[in-house]
Structure 1
Amino acid sequence: MLRRTFLATLPLATAGSLVAATNNGVYEPALLPGEEELSKLPKFQAPGEDRFIRPDVHAGDRPAGASFSSRSPALGCSGAAGTAHPLATQAAIEMLKRGGSAVDAAIAANALLGFVEPTSSGLGGDCYAFVWDPKMGKLAGMASSGRSPKSLSLATVRSRAVNGALPGLGAVSVSTPGALDGWWTLHQRYGKLKWAELFEPAIHYCEAGDPAPQIIGWYIKRNMAIFLRPHSGVEETANAVKTYSPGGISPNEYDVRRNPDLAKTYRMIAAGGRDAFYDGPIAKTIDAYFKRIGGWLSADDLREHHAEWVEPLVTKYRGVDVYAMGANTQGLATLQMLNIIEQFDLRGYGFQSPESLHVQIEAKRLAYEDRARFYADPHFSKIPIDWLKSKEYAKERAKLIQLDRILEPVYPGQAPSHGDTTYFSTADKDGMMVSMIQSNFRGMGSGLVADGLGFMFQDRGQLFSLQDGHPNIYAPGKRPFQTIIPGFAAKDGVPWLAFGVMGGDMQPQGQSQIIINRVDYGIDVQAAGDSPRWHHEGSSQSMGEDPPHLAPRGILRLESGVPAATRKALVDMGWPMGESDGGYGRYECIENRKQGNDRVYAAASEMRADGVALAY
C-alpha cells in the first residue's frame, strides 16, 4: 500500500537492539541497552542517511508548557499562517501584510506548495476549505472535488482492476482536477487582492529555485522510484522525470529544484483566470496529452467542472462545536468518533492512559465500519447523514465498548430504511479564518504530467469501489470517496480552531486526537500536535484507502512517545501492535484566543514535517 508515511519503516533485521519481539509477534521498543550494547548505539548521522534512531532519547526539557512539546505556538494580533513549507507560510504572511484576506493568503500558499511540496499538492488535485465569514458570523464550506472522466466506463475500469480494486497509478486512476476552480471560487467571494498577485511568490520560486527539504526530498525520490519501476501502470514517465528528476536524478536534501514549466502554467492562470485551465490553452494541452497516451480525461470533463458551496456538518463535543466537511468526504467519521468518545470520561482516565487510547481506538473502529458502508458522492447516493451523526446513534454504539476487552466482531450500524495531502490554515486582521486542505491523493499522484505544464495529475479515482450495489461504486462523471477533510471548531458562536491533520485514513483519527488534547486535556495548540499519536489500520473498506483486514483486530501503531506502561497495557489487552512507521499525519492549526481589540492568534505547526507556523 502506497500510504503516506513520513519516515521509512525500519526493517527488523537491521533494527538491532532498538526493537524487541515478544512471543506473540508484537514488537516493542527494547529496554535500554546494557554496557555490552554501547558499541551498537548510533554515533553519527552521515550525510544522506534518512534516520538517526535512539528511541530512549527524547526532546530536551522545557521550563513551561507540556514537557514533550517541541516549541511554543507562534502568537500575533494581526494575522497568522501555518503550512507544510516555510516559503508557503511566508507567502501567506506577505499577502496578509499587503492587505489581503485570509483567503488570498491561503491561495498564495497553496500555489507555492504546488511547487515546493509536489509530493502532497498541486494543480492536478482537489481541494476543500472552511472559511469563517466574520461579516456573516458563520462557517462556509467549499468543495472542489473532480469527477471521473465521462468516457471511462465501469466495464473498462473493471478490466484494469488489480485484485478487485482500481489501480493506484496511470490514466485509469485520474479524475478531473478541482483545486484551481476551488481557489477561483474562494477568491470570487472573499478575495481582496488581485487574482494575478496571488501567484507572484509561486512564479518567483519556480524560476529562482528552492532547496529540497529533508522530508519532501525523501518523498520525491520514493515516488519517482515507484513510477519508474517495471509494470507500474504509468503510461508515460518522461514528463515526470523532466519535471521532478531532471537528468534522471531525483533531488537530495539541499539540492536546488526549479520548475519553469509550472511557472509558465501559473502565468497563464494569473492572466486568464480559471478559464485558462478549464476552457482554454491548458485544457487543450491536457486533452491532447490524454489522447496521446490512451487516457480518458478530456476538455469536456474540465469544462464541466465547478466547485460548490456546501453546508458544513457539525456536532457539539463537550460544549465545543466541531465542524466537518460532508459532500463525498470522510469528514463525518470525525464527528461520529467524537460523539462516541463523548460518552466516556477521558479526562478522568488520564492523558495518554490505556483507557483513554482504548476508547478512542474502538470509536475509530466503529465509525470506520460505517465509513466503508455508507460514505459516497451524495449526488449519486442517499447517505443517512443525520442518523449517522446523531447523539442517539452514538450512545448505542458506545454501549458496545468495554474498557477491559476489545470489541469483536465489529460491524457497521443498520441504517433505517427510506458510504498525500497538504493542509494549511490562515487568519487575518478582520477575524476571517481559513482551514484548507488539498491533495493529489497518494504521494505525488498518478505519475502522469501533461506536456510542458509542470504538475502531476491526481490518482483519486482509486478510491472508487467496484462492488455492485455499493454507494461508492465507480460511474462515469461521479466523484470518488474523498479522504481529504479540513477541520474547524467554534465556541459559543465564536471561531476557535482552524486545523487539520493530513494523511489518508489518518485524518479523522488525527483530528479527533487534536480535539481531545485541547478539550479533554487542555494542552496548547502546539503541544496538542506534538503529543504522541496512535494510528489504527485494518478497518473494513471497499474504496481502496485502507488495507484489507490484516487481522480481525487490525493493526495498532503507537509513536515512541506513548508511555511504556500504556503500551504494555494495550498489548496485554490483545491489541496487535505494529511497528511505528511514521504514518501519523501532519498538522497545522490556528487558534483564535480572544475577540475584540485583544484578538490573539496562536499558530502551531507539525514537528513531523518540514513546515512552519508564523503570526504577526
Structure 2
Amino acid sequence: MKRDFEAPGRSPVFAREAAVATSHPLATSAALEVLQAGGNAVDAAIAASAVQAVVEPQMTGIGGDCFAIVTEPDGRMAGFNGSGGAPAGISTDYLAARGIEELTPTSPHSVTVPGAVRAWETLLKAHGTRSFETLFKRAIDYAENGFPVAPRVQHDWKDSVDRVSGSAAAKATYLPGGKAPDVGQIMKFPRLAETLKAIATGGADAFYTGPIADDIVSTLQELGAVMTREDLAACHTTAVSPVMRDYRGFTIAELPPNGQGVIALVILGILERFDLESLDPLGPERLHLEMEASRIGYAVRDKFVTDPGYMDICHTNLIAEDYLDQLAAMIDPYKKLAELPGTSLAPQTDTVYLTVVDKNGLSISFINSIFNSFGSGILAPESGVLLHNRGAVFHAKPGHANTIAGGKRPMHTIIPAMALKDGAPWLSFGVMGGHYQACGHAHLISNIIDYGMDVQMAIDFPRMFFDLDTHVLEAEKMIPQSTLDGLIAKGHEVRRATGAIGGSQAIMIDKANHTLIAGSDPRKDGHAAGY
C-alpha cells in the first residue's frame, strides 16, 4: 500500500546513521542528543525513558516495571525482565482474612515491587556506555525547572482526576489548583528531581534502600499493605531468552512469561493459517479473523500465562504447530464463535514504548509502565515516586494461574518485540495499550507483511479490540460503518471505541539500502527522528 498524500498523515522518517521513536517529543530529543554525543542505543533508551518518567506521569515512571530486548547487528538477542514481584508477606489467606475478594486498581495491595530502576541499571551494565548521571540530565532538568504539558498527556491527565485525588500527596502534586493542568502549562516535580539526582549518583541501590525505599514502604504500610524494605532490596532483573516463531518467512521475537508476548505469537500463528493477503485490510472478513484469533489467544493467556515458576506448562507448547492447528480450527470465517472453549484450550503436549537503533546497528525494543493511568494513584510524598498497580491483574482467590502469592510476578501486558529477516535484525517494534498489546503486535506485523504497509502507515492504520469481559468489539472511528455492519452480520456485537486504541513505535532496518525507517503513533504526542 502507498500513502495518499492528499489525506492526513505523515511519512516515516528515513535516516542513515541512527533513529529513535518515542511517544513524547522531549524524550525523542533526549535520545537523539545522547546518540549524537556518542552514546549507543541502550544509553539513548534510558535517557528517553527517564524523561518520560517525568513528562508522561500518567503512563510511566520510576515506580513501575520495565522489559527490553537488545539486539546485536548479527541478530543475537538479550532479553531483560524488569518486573517486580508481590510482597513476600502477601497471600490469599491474608486477603481473605481481611475480606478482600478483588485487587482493585487503587488498592495498596495492587502495588508490586517496582522493577524499572533496577532494570535500567542492569541494561546499562550489560550494554550501555554512559552513566545515570549523564543520562538523567534532561529528566532532572524537566522535573526541577519544569516542562510544558503535551496535548495527549493532558487528555489522559484530565480523565484521571479521580485516580490522583485519593492520595493527598498525589493531589497536591498532580492537580495544581485542584484540577488537571492545561495544555502547555508548566509542571514541576521537585521531589522527583531530588530522587532522580540520588539515583544518578548512587545507582539503583539509592532507590531500593535508604530514604527513598523507606518513603515507599512507609507510605504503603500506612495504607495497610505488607510491602517491606526487604521486598524492595531483593528486587532483581532477570535475563531471559526471547521466544520466537516465524510468520510468513519473518522471525518474530517476544519475551517469555510472565509477559503476554507469547500470545502475540499465538495470534499470528492462528492468522497464518488464513489467506489474509487476499482480504481487504479494513474489511469485515480480515477483522473478523483477527478478532476471533485474538479472543482465542487471550483465553489461552488467561488460562496459562503467569510467573513461569507457577505455570502448568512450558510456554513453548503454546506455539507448537499442532496446538495452533487446533486453535485455528475453532474459527468459522463466516460467524463468531459463540462460546470460547475451556478445557480444550489445553495444549496437547497507561505504558510507554520506545525503540532506538544506533550507528553501529545495536537496537533496543524498550517498554516501561505503571499499568493504569497514574498507576495506583499512590504517591510516596517525600520521594515523589508514583507507584504502579501491576498487582491489580492478580486474582485474590485461589485456583487461577495468576492467583497472588508472596514473591510471585504478576502476568504482564507490556511486551517489547523484535523481528528478524533472514536471521538479521529487521524491525524493532512495540504497541502500547494495556491488554491490547498482544493483539496490537499481530495487527502491526500483519499490516506490514500481509499488506505491504510502511512502518508509519502500519502504525496509523485503524484498530479494533474487544472488551475482555463482554467480548463486545470496539472500533476506532476510522473503521467504516460498512465494516461494522459486516461484523454484526457475522454475529459480533460492535460499538465505537471511546478513544484511540493504544500507541506504537517502530524502526525498520533496511540492510539493502543501509537506511533506518522509523514511525511513531499519531495517537500520542511523540515522533520519530534520526540522522
Q: TM-score scaled by structure 1?
A: 0.83
Aligned to 1:362: 292
Counterpart check, 1:148 vs 2:86: yes
The question of whether the paired residues in 2 share the 8 Å contact of 1:377 and 1:478 is answered with: yes
Q: 1:602 aligns with which of 501, 517, 520?
A: 517
Question: In 2, distance between residues paired with 1:586 and 1:457?
Answer: 22
Question: In 1, distance between residues paired with 2:171 and 2:398?
Answer: 38
Deviation at 1:587, TM superposition (A): 0.7
Q: 1:206 aligns with which of 131, 138, 143?
A: 143
The question of whether the paired residues in 2 share the 8 Å contact of 1:161 and 1:167 is answered with: no
Deviation at 1:246, TM superposition (A): 3.2
Residues 269-325 of structure 1, C-alpha deviations (whole Å, 9 max, x = no match)? 000011111123322332333334433222101110100110111110000101111
Report which stretch shifted further, 148-157 or 321-330: 148-157
Aligned to 2:131: 194
Deviation at 1:529, TM superposition (A): 0.8
- Would the alpha carbon gap of residues 381 and 425 (structure 1) be closer, same or farther in structure 2, given more than 3 Å must change? same
The question of whether the paired residues in 2 share the 8 Å contact of 1:89 and 1:612 is answered with: yes
**The residue matched to 1:328 in structure 2 has which SS?**
coil
Question: In 2, distance between residues paired with 1:218 and 1:285?
Answer: 30
Counterpart check, 1:496 vs 2:426: yes
Question: In 2, distance between residues paired with 1:161 and 1:315?
Answer: 44
Question: In 1, distance between residues paired with 2:211 and 2:447?
Answer: 48
The question of whether the paired residues in 2 share the 8 Å contact of 1:88 and 1:112 is answered with: yes
Query: What pairs up with 1:137-536 in 2 under 5 angstroms?
Result: 137-158=75-96, 164-228=101-165, 234=166, 237-412=167-342, 413-415=344-346, 420-536=350-466
Question: In 2, distance between residues paired with 1:374 and 1:126?
Answer: 21
Question: In 2, distance between residues paired with 1:521 and 1:192?
Answer: 39
Aligned to 2:499: 582
Deviation at 1:71, TM superposition (A): 0.3
Question: In 1, distance between residues paired with 2:455 and 2:248?
Answer: 18
Aligned to 1:90: 29
**The residue matched to 2:354 in structure 1 has which SS?**
strand
Question: In 2, distance between residues paired with 1:442 and 1:204?
Answer: 26
Aligned to 1:614: 529
One-letter identity of the residue aligned with 1:80: A
**The residue matched to 1:316 in structure 2 has which SS?**
strand
**The residue matched to 2:309 in structure 1 has which SS?**
coil
Question: In 2, distance between residues paired with 1:517 and 1:63?
Answer: 12
**The residue matched to 2:11 in structure 1 has which SS?**
coil
The question of whether the paired residues in 1 share the 8 Å contact of 2:42 and 2:364 is answered with: yes
Question: In 2, distance between residues paired with 1:414 and 1:556?
Answer: 22
One-letter identity of the residue aligned with 1:456: L
**The residue matched to 1:407 in structure 2 has which SS?**
coil
The question of whether the paired residues in 2 share the 8 Å contact of 1:68 and 1:531 is answered with: no
Aligned to 1:132: 71
Question: In 1, distance between residues paired with 2:86 and 2:516?
Answer: 40
- What is the aligned-residue RMSD (CA, Å)? 1.9
Question: In 1, distance between residues paired with 2:227 and 2:425?
Answer: 40
Deviation at 1:562, TM superposition (A): 1.9
**The residue matched to 1:193 in structure 2 has which SS?**
coil
Residues 326-345 of structure 1, C-alpha deviations (whole Å, 9 max, x = no match)? 13011111000000000000
Question: In 2, distance between residues paired with 1:447 and 1:159?
Answer: 25
**The residue matched to 1:452 in structure 2 has which SS?**
coil
Deviation at 1:113, TM superposition (A): 0.3
Q: 1:556 aligns with which of 452, 473, 476?
A: 473
Question: In 1, distance between residues paired with 2:98 and 2:56?
Answer: 30
Query: Which structure would you say has the larger Rg?
Result: 1
Deviation at 1:67, TM superposition (A): 6.9
Report which stretch shifted further, 94-103 or 276-285: 276-285
Question: In 2, distance between residues paired with 1:567 and 1:254?
Answer: 37
One-letter identity of the residue aligned with 1:531: F
The question of whether the paired residues in 1 share the 8 Å contact of 2:413 and 2:437 is answered with: yes
- Would the alpha carbon gap of residues 64 and 400 (structure 1) be closer, same or farther in structure 2, given more than 3 Å must change? closer
One-letter identity of the residue aligned with 2:145: A
One-letter identity of the residue aligned with 1:381: M
Question: In 2, distance between residues paired with 1:466 and 1:355?
Answer: 39
One-letter identity of the residue aligned with 1:613: A
Question: In 2, distance between residues paired with 1:245 and 1:423?
Answer: 26
- Would the alpha carbon gap of residues 222 and 351 (structure 1) be closer, same or farther in structure 2, given more than 3 Å must change? closer
Question: In 2, distance between residues paired with 1:498 and 1:279?
Answer: 34
Deviation at 1:119, TM superposition (A): 0.5
Question: In 1, distance between residues paired with 2:2 and 2:463?
Answer: 23
Report which stretch shifted further, 97-106 or 408-417: 408-417
**The residue matched to 1:70 in structure 2 has which SS?**
coil
Question: In 1, distance between residues paired with 2:173 and 2:313?
Answer: 41
Aligned to 1:106: 45
The question of whether the paired residues in 2 share the 8 Å contact of 1:144 and 1:178 is answered with: yes
Deviation at 1:156, TM superposition (A): 3.0
Q: TM-score scaled by structure 2?
A: 0.96
One-letter identity of the residue aligned with 1:90: S
Residues 178-202 of structure 1, C-alpha deviations (whole Å, 9 max, x = no match)? 0001100100011112331010010
Structure 2 unaligned blocks of 5 or more = none
Question: In 1, distance between residues paired with 2:429 and 2:97?
Answer: 40
Report which stretch shifted further, 453-462 or 575-584: 575-584
Query: What pairs up with 1:533-544 in 2 under 5 angstroms?
Result: 533-538=463-468
The question of whether the paired residues in 1 share the 8 Å contact of 2:277 and 2:451 is answered with: yes
Q: How many residues align?
A: 530
One-letter identity of the residue aligned with 2:135: L
One-letter identity of the residue aligned with 2:490: M
Question: In 2, distance between residues paired with 1:334 and 1:68?
Answer: 31
Aligned to 1:42: none
Deviation at 1:66, TM superposition (A): 7.6
Question: In 1, distance between residues paired with 2:325 and 2:313?
Answer: 20
Residues 150-179 of structure 1, C-alpha deviations (whole Å, 9 max, x = no match)? 1233223335666x4211103111100000
Question: In 2, distance between residues paired with 1:564 and 1:226?
Answer: 34
Deviation at 1:63, TM superposition (A): 9.1
